Amino acid sequence: MVKICCIGAGYVGGPTMAVIALKCPSVEVVVVDISVSRITAWNSEQLPIYEPGLDEVVKQCRGKNLFFSVDVEKHVSEADIIFVSVNTPTKTQGLGAGKAADLTYWESAARMIADVSKSDKIVVEKSTVPVKTAEAIEKILTHNSKGIKFQILSNPEFLAEGTAIEDLFSPDRVLIGGRETPGGQKAIKALKAVYANWVPEERIICTNLWSAELSKLAANAFLAQRISSVNAMSALCEATGADVSQVAHAVGKDTRIGAKFLNASVGFGGSCFQKDILNLVYICECNGLPEVANYWKQVIKVNDYQKNRFVNRIVSSMFNTVSGKKIAVLGFAFKKDTGDTRETPAIDVCKGLIDDKAKLSIYDPQVTEEQIQRDLSLNKFDWDHPAHLQPLSPASKKDITVVWDAYEATKNAHAICILTEWDEFKNLDFQKIYNNMQKPAFLFDGRNVVNPQKLRDIGFVVYSIGKPLDPWIKDLPAVA
Ligand SMILES: NC(=O)c1ccc[n+]([C@@H]2O[C@H](COP(=O)([O-])OP(=O)(O)OC[C@H]3O[C@@H](n4cnc5c(N)ncnc54)[C@H](O)[C@@H]3O)[C@@H](O)[C@H]2O)c1
Task: Report the separation in Å between the CA atom of 19 and the middle of ligand 1, taken as the mean of its atom positions.
Answer: 17
The answer to whether residues 273 and 400 belong to one domain is yes
The answer to whether residues 18 and 134 belong to one domain is yes
Picking from 199, 231, 258, the residue at the C-terminal end of a domain is 199
Could you read off the pLDDT of 174-229 as tens digits, one per residue? 999 999 999 999 999 999 999 999 999 999 999 999 999 999 999 999 999 999 99
In the prediction, which pLDDT does 393 show? 57
Picking from 145, 173, 199, the residue at the C-terminal end of a domain is 199
The answer to whether residues 388 and 258 belong to one domain is yes
Could you read off the pLDDT of 220-272 as tens digits, one per residue? 999 999 999 999 999 999 999 999 999 999 999 999 999 999 999 999 999 99
Question: Is the pLDDT confidence value at 478 over 70?
Answer: no
Our answer on whether the CB atom of 425 is closer than 6 Å to any ligand 1 atom is no
Residue 419 covered by a domain: yes
What average pLDDT is seen over the chain? Answer: 94
CATH number at residue 135: 3.40.50.720
* Mean predicted confidence (pLDDT) in 440-448: 98
Q: Helix/strand/coil (H, E, C) string of 398-439?
A: CCEEECCCHHHHHCCCCEEEECCCCHHHHHCCHHHHHHCCCC
This prediction has a pTM of 0.94
Residue 125 covered by a domain: yes
Mutate to test the pocket of ligand 1, among 5, 6, 11 (most ligand atoms within 8 A of CB): 11
Task: Report the separation in Å between the CA atom of 300 and the middle of ligand 1, taken as the mean of its atom positions.
Answer: 22
In the prediction, which pLDDT does 386 show? 80
Residue 226 covered by a domain: no
Residue 224 covered by a domain: no
Residue 176 covered by a domain: yes
Residue 228 covered by a domain: no
The answer to whether residues 252 and 147 belong to one domain is no
The residue nearest atom 7 of ligand 1, judged by CA position, is 157
The answer to whether residues 158 and 254 belong to one domain is no
Our answer on whether the CB atom of 430 is closer than 6 Å to any ligand 1 atom is no
In the prediction, which pLDDT does 420 show? 98
- With a CB cutoff of 8 Å and minimum separation 6, the contacts of 139 are none
The answer to whether residues 161 and 248 belong to one domain is no
The answer to whether residues 187 and 270 belong to one domain is no
Domain span at residue 131 reads 2-199
Question: Is the pLDDT confidence value at 396 over 80?
Answer: no
Our answer on whether the CB atom of 86 is closer than 6 Å to any ligand 1 atom is yes
Residue 479 covered by a domain: no
The answer to whether residues 66 and 144 belong to one domain is yes
* Candidate list 272, 284, 350, 417, residue with the active-site label: 272
Catalytic residue check, 272: yes
The answer to whether residues 140 and 254 belong to one domain is no
When divided into structural domains, the chain yields a total of 2
Could you read off the pLDDT of 304-341 as tens digits, one per residue? 999 999 999 999 999 999 999 999 999 999 999 999 99
Could you read off the pLDDT of 401-424 as tens digits, one per residue? 999 999 999 999 999 999 999 999
Residue 208 covered by a domain: no
Task: Report the separation in Å between the CA atom of 323 and the middle of ligand 1, taken as the mean of its atom positions.
Answer: 39
Q: Out of 348-362, 390-404, 453-467, which region has the weakest mean confidence (pLDDT)?
A: 390-404
Picking from 129, 164, 199, the residue at the C-terminal end of a domain is 199
The answer to whether residues 188 and 254 belong to one domain is no
The answer to whether residues 167 and 260 belong to one domain is no
The answer to whether residues 185 and 269 belong to one domain is no
Q: Out of 111-125, 132-146, 280-294, which region has the weakest mean confidence (pLDDT)?
A: 132-146
